[in-house]
Amino acid sequence: MSSERLWSPAFINYGVSSGIFYMTQYVLVAALPIILTAELGGTALDAGLAMTYFQIGTILCRPFAGRLIDGLDKRIILLISSVLFFIIMGLFNLTTSLQTIFVLRGLHGAIFALGTTVMAALAVVVLPASRKGEGINMFAVFSNIAMVLGPAVGLYALQAYGSSALYIFLTIMTALAFILSNVIRLPKELAKSKQKSSKGWSISQFIEKRSLPWALMGLFIGFTYSGVLVFIPIELNSMGAGVWGSVFFALFALMIIISRPLVGKVYARYGSRFVIYPGVGLFIVGLAILGVVSTPVGIICTAPLLGLGYGAAQPAFQALAVQSAPIERAGVSTATYFLALDIAVGAGSVILALIANALGYQSLYQITSLIMIIALALYHFVIRKHSYIAE
C-alpha cells in the first residue's frame, strides 16, 4: 500500500486549487463585515446577510453539482467553474453597493460549491484505490491551511492596502487556481462520466443514499462547529479580548494541520473507528470545557482540543461518505456530504444564535456538547453497524 503514490502532480494541483477557493471564502468572511459597515454604510445585519447569501448559493448548488460532475466530463465542469469563479472575483472590484455584494456572494457560493466539489471528486479519482481514505484526509489539509491564512491575510490586506487591493489580490489568486486546476492532462477515461444516462428526474441523481449516514454525522459536527466559528470571536470581544480570536482559530487550524498526517495513517492502517472515537471525544471535551470557562485564557486553551477533534472526525466522515458509493458516483457522494455540512453551518449559525441570546454562551456550548454526545451514540449503536461500507 505504501508503495502506491499519494502525492501525484494531479492530486497536488487539485488540492492547491481547492485551497485557493477556500482561501477566498475565509478572506471574505473576515474582511467583508468591515467593508460593508465601514465603507458601504451597512449594518451588522447586512454583514450577516452576506454570509447567508453565500450559504444559500452553496446549498442550492451542491445537489446539482454532484449530478453534473458524475453525468459529464469532469474536466469540462472544472474548466467552467474555475472560469466563472475568476469572473465573479473580478466583479468584486466593481462593487459599489450592498445589493451588488449580496448578489455576488450568492453567485460566489454557488460556483464555490461546484468548483470545490469537482476538485474533491477528481482528487478521489486520481488516488490509488488502497489509499483513498488516507488521501481524502490529506486533501482536507489544503482547506485547513486556507482556514489559517485566510482571515489573517484578509484583515491585514484590508487594513494595510484597502478593499480595492484586497479584491485584486483575490482575483489574481483565482487566476492561479484556474491555471493549476486545468493544466493537468487527466486521462479521459478517468474524467468522463461512467454512468448510464437516465431519463427523467429522481432524487438519486442528486443525493447518494449510501452516503447519507456519514452526511448525517457531518451535519452534527458542522452544526456544533458553527457555534464555535461564530460565537468565539463575539464572546472574546465581549471580554475585551477580541484580538485573541485570531489566536484561537490559528491554534485550532494549526492542530488540524499538524495532526493530519498521523490521522491519515491511522485511518488507513487501523480503520475509521480509531479516528472517529477519539476525534469526536476530544471535540466533546473541548465543547464541555467551553461550557464552564469564563476567561479568555480558558477559551484559548480549548482550541487545541477542538482542532484535534474536528480535524480527525470531520474528514473521516467525508472519506466514509465517498467510499460508501461506487467511484462513478464520487461527485454525487461528495456533494451529498458537503450539502449536509453547508446546511449544518447555515442553520447552526441561526439556531445557536437564538440559544446564545436566550441562555448565554456557556449554556450554548453545554448544549452543543450534549448534541455531539448524542451523535457519538448514534454512530456507535446505529450508523457504524448498519453503514454501507466496512470499516
Domain co-membership, 286 together with 381: yes
Residues 119 and 227 in one domain: no
pLDDT in tens, the chain (391 residues): 445 778 889 899 999 999 999 999 888 887 887 788 788 888 767 777 787 888 889 888 887 887 787 777 888 899 999 999 999 999 999 988 999 999 999 999 999 999 998 998 888 888 887 787 778 878 888 887 887 678 778 878 887 899 999 999 999 999 999 999 999 877 666 656 555 545 556 676 778 888 999 999 999 999 998 888 778 877 887 898 877 877 888 888 889 888 888 888 898 888 889 999 999 999 999 999 999 999 999 999 999 999 999 989 998 998 898 888 887 777 788 888 888 988 887 788 778 888 888 899 999 999 999 999 999 999 998 887 766 554 4
Asked whether residue 143 falls in the same domain as residue 277, the answer is no
Residue where a domain stops, chosen among 191, 218, 244: 191
Say if residue 164 is exposed, middle or buried (CB neighbours under 10 Å; 0-12, 13-18, 19+): exposed
* Residue 116, CA atoms < 13 Å, CB-side half-sphere: 28
Number of domains the chain is built from? 2
In this structure, are 378 and 238 located in the same domain? Answer: yes
Sign of dihedral through CA atoms 269, 273, 279, 285?
Answer: negative
Is 242 inside any structural domain? yes
Kindly state whether residues 36 and 184 are assigned to the same domain: yes
Q: Does a structural domain hold residue 254?
A: yes
CATH assignment of the domain containing 221: 1.20.1250.20
Q: Does 211 lie in the same domain as 186?
A: no
pTM of the predicted structure, to 2 decimals: 0.74
Residue 323: partners with Cβ closer than 8 Å, 6 or more residues away: 132, 133, 389
Query: Is 200 domain-assigned?
Result: no
Query: Which of the listed residues 131, 159, 191 is the one where a domain comes to its end?
Result: 191
Q: How confident is the model over 155-168, as pLDDT tens digits?
A: 788 878 999 999 99
Residues 153 and 216 in one domain: no
Tell which residue, 219, 226, 204, 256, has the closest CA to residue 337. Answer: 219
Same domain, 32 and 161: yes
Instruction: List, in sequence order, the alpha helices (H) in 185-271.
Output: 188-191, 212-238, 244-270
Q: Where does a domain end: 191, 218, 246?
A: 191
Give the pLDDT confidence of 87-112 residue by residue, as tens digits.
999 999 998 899 999 999 999 999 99
Q: Please give the residue range of the domain that contains residue 359.
A: 207-391
